[in-house]
Each structure stands twice: as structure tokens, then as C-alpha cells.
């Protein structure tokens, strides 16, 4: 029997913690909001709107641009007011960029999800370096909070522009505060300096009718209740070193995990076989999707299949998507 819900309808029901027919995943949503030069400069590398220079590595990793090493714009957080100037958001071509990014989107069947990098802690790290930002938060918490609050207020203005020109269904903000093993900072530091500000722009999203989602890579399950307290509907890029099943069982009625694919294990490595990749997709759907709640499959792999070409990620991701759609078709036929 064919499913009655479109991919968009099914996905948004899941994200709003309501009954849905099948596990959402690739293709049900379209990521947007990544083309503006605010965050990484023109073309994804260059001088961004904060004056930070970004460079794209020529070998190793996925080729994503990073702040230029050892070129810290801010070295003393107590002096941030004289160094950091919040960019004027009105000067960017929001209308033209939104039209370009959304030109091929079928809004009847696909959700539009804003993918917005460099939230308050990540932006602080681009200005000071990860170590510098962490030291500042530990040694100068008052000045650090002032900077983070200013960044949060600026970001709320950005959310309003996204709402006007993109009319998104979901707003996903990136604040990576963890490694594969644990948090960068203590939970208390997160709760004192970051959580209150996440609350502010989650509220801004809700007032605009947009679903708020926190993106945090790594092992961050210590913060699950905090993400829920903030008002987030979901946690994106959840990796398999977290207790995904335990979280779904405990919170799946009111919180969604987006991810599950073992990106750091064999299935995410260049030497993974096609069978291993397909088996990992199937493991995710069968293990986490079986609950019928609180789970969206996401399996983007950022490891190049060809180590000599760091941008050659397409083949593995195409296999992931193909297997996901194959499983969906199988389950629809059996429904």
C-alpha cells in the first residue's frame, strides 16, 4: 500500500513529534542558506563579514574551508568591543541568493532547512581559535558572555532575514561543542554561557513559525536535556558513539535525533566497501527507525573515497542515498 504522506509532510510531522508513516531522510529536505559570504567569504574561502580569513585545504579531509591558522582577530576577550564589529546584514543580497538556492526546490514535497554554520561558540572560535575561546570562557566568563550575547542578538536579526527571504520550515544552527570522546567544556560552562543564548534564538525561531534544530557533532549526550530545555525540536548530526536508542526511548515523543550513521568507523572511511556502506544504512533504519518516533536518518559522509581528491565524496553518499530509498520502497511495498 502506498504511503499517503508526502516526504515533506512526513518529515515535518516527525520534527513536530507527531505520528508519521515512515523514517524521514535524504531528499525529504533541502539544505539552504549556505551561499551567503557572511560566514566564509566569497566562494566558501576568503575574508568573511567579520574580517576572518578562511582557507580551503588542498589535501586531506573533505576540503571544507577553515579559519586561517594562527591569524586570530581577537586575542583578548575583554577587548572584544573594540575589535569585533557585527556585520550589517542589510547589505547582503538575500533575495537574489534565496532565489538561486531555492530555484529547483519543490516546496510541496520538500522541506527547506536553513543550514547556518558558525553559531555563537563556533563564531567565537573563528575569532579566537578553539583554544583561545575555551580559555577565555574559563578565565573571563563575564566578558565571554558579553561577546556571546552580542553574537546571539546579531544572529537573531539574521534569522529574521532568513524567514523573510527563504520562508524556511527548519532552522539548523551549528555549535560544535564536543569531540568524538566528550565535550570541549564542562556542562556547567555550557549551561552558564551558551544555553541561555541558545534559548533566545530558539524562541526567535518559534515566534517566526520555524522549527529550531541544534547541530552538534561528537559525543554530546550529556547535553540532551539542555537541548530540550532550550526548546530545540531536534539534535542534528548525532553520531553513533552516543546512546541513540536510550535517547529515543526516553525522549523520542518530544525530541528528534537526526543522524546515526557511523561516520567515524569503517562505514565512513575511504576503504569501506559498498556492502559495508549499505549495511550501515540498513542498520540505522532497522535499529533507530523501529521506534516510529524521534528519528530522522542522516548519513552524509565527509571522507573522500579517493584520498588524492578530498572533494570526491559523491560516490559514497550516492550509495547511502540509494540504499536509504531502496529500504523505504521495500517498507512501503510491505505496508
Q: Give me the DSSP letters along 6-56.
A: -HHHHHHHHHTT---SS---TTSEEEES---TTTT-GGGSEE-TTS-EEE-
Percent of the chain with pLDDT over 70: 93
Mean pLDDT check: name the lowest of 43-52, 82-91, 199-208, 310-319: 310-319
Strand order in the sheet with 53-55: 46-47, 53-55, 66-67
> What single string gives the DSSP state of each residue in 52-91?
-EEE--SSSTT---EEPTT--S-S-GGGHHHH-----GGG
Work out the average pLDDT over 222-250.
97
Residue 64 has pLDDT above 80, yes or no: no
| 306 conformational bin, left if phi > 0, alpha if psi -120 to 50, beta if neither | beta
Q: Residue 43's pLDDT is what?
A: 66
Q: Residue 41's pLDDT is what?
A: 76
Q: Residue 62's pLDDT is what?
A: 55
For the chain, the average pLDDT equals 92
Q: How many CA atoms lie within 13 A of 229 on its CB side?
A: 11
Higher pLDDT, 305 or 118: 118
Enter the DSSP assignment of 222: G
Give the Cα separation of 263 and 117 in Å (integer). Answer: 19
Confidence of residue 311 (pLDDT cuts 50, 70, 90): very low
Confidence of residue 302 (pLDDT cuts 50, 70, 90): low
Q: Dihedral angle at the C-alpha atoms of 134, 200, 114, 183, nearest 10 degrees?
A: 30
Q: Residue 219's pLDDT is what?
A: 96
Look at the block and give the residue holding cell 518529515. Answer: 11
Give the Cα separation of 309 and 60 in Å (integer). Answer: 8
Q: Residue 34's pLDDT is what?
A: 81
Q: Residue 310's pLDDT is what?
A: 42
Q: Residue 171's pLDDT is what?
A: 98
Q: Residue 163's pLDDT is what?
A: 98
Q: Residue 305's pLDDT is what?
A: 46
Higher pLDDT, 229 or 38: 229
**Coil, strand or helix: which one is 330?**
helix
Work out the average pLDDT over 155-165.
97
Segment 79-133, tens digit of pLDDT: 999 999 999 999 999 999 999 999 999 999 999 999 998 999 999 999 999 999 9
Confidence of residue 312 (pLDDT cuts 50, 70, 90): low
Q: Residue 306's pLDDT is what?
A: 52
Segment 260-277, tens digit of pLDDT: 999 888 888 877 889 999
Segment 2-34, tens digit of pLDDT: 999 999 999 999 999 999 999 999 999 999 998
**What is 7-334's CATH number?**
3.20.20.210
Q: What is the pTM of this model?
A: 0.94
Amino acid at each position: 500500500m502506498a504511503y499517503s504522506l508526502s516526504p515533506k509532510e512526513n518529515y515535518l510531522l516527525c520534527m513536530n513529534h507527531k505520528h508519521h508513516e515512515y523514517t524521514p531522510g535524504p531528499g525529504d529536505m533541502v539544505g539552504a542558506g549556505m551561499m551567503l559570504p557572511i560566514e566564509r567569504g566569497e566562494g566558501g574561502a576568503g575574508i568573511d563579514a567579520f574580517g576572518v580569513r578562511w582557507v580551503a585545504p588542498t589535501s586531506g579531509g573533505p576540503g571544507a574551508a577553515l579559519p586561517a591558522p594562527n591569524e586570530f582577530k581577537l586575542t583578548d576577550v575583554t577587548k572584544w568591543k573594540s575589535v569585533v564589529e557585527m556585520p550589517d546584514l542589510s547589505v547582503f543580497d538575500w533575495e537574489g541568493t534565496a532565489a538561486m538556492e531555492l530555484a529547483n526546490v519543490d516546496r510541496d514535497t520538500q522541506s527547506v532547512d536553513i543550514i547556518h554554520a558558525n553559531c555563537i561558540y563556533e563564531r567565537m572560535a573563528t575569532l579566537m581559535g578553539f583554544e583561545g575561546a575555551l580559555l577565555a570562557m574559563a578565565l573571563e566568563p563575564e566578558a565571554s558572555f558579553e561577546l556571546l550575547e552580542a553574537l546571539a542578538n546579531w544572529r537573531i536579526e539574521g534569522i529574521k532575514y532568513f524567514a523573510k527571504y527563504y520562508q524556511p520550515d527548519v532552522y539548523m544552527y551549528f555549535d560544535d561543542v564536543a569531540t568524538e570522546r566528550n565535550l570541549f567544556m564542562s556542562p556547567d560552562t555550557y549551561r552558564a554561557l551558551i544555553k541561555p543564548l541558545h534559548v533566545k534564538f530558539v524562541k526567535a525561531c518559534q515566534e517566526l513559525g520555524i522549527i529550531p534544530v541544534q547541530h552538534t557533532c561528537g559525543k554530546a549526550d550529556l547535553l540532551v536535556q539542555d537541548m530540550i530545555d532550550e526548546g530545540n525540536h531536534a539534535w542534528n548530526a548525532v553520531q553513533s558513539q552516543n546512546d541513540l536508542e536510550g535517547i529515543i526511548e526516553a525522549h523520542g515523543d518530544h525530541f528528534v535525533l537526526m543522524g546515526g550513521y557511523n561516520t567515524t568507523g569503517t562505514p565512513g572511511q575511504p576503504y569501506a566497501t559498498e556492502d559495508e556502506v549499505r549495511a550501515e544504512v540498513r542498520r540505522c533504519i532497522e535499529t533507530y527507525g523501529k521506534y516510529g518516533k524521534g528519528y530522522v536518518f542522516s548519513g552524509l559522509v565527509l571522507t573522500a573515497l579517493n584520498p588524492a581528491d578530498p572533494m570526491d565524496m559523491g560516490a559514497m553518499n550516492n550509495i547511502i542515498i540509494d540504499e536509504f530509498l531502496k529500504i523505504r520502497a521495500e517498507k512501503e511495498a510491505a505496508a
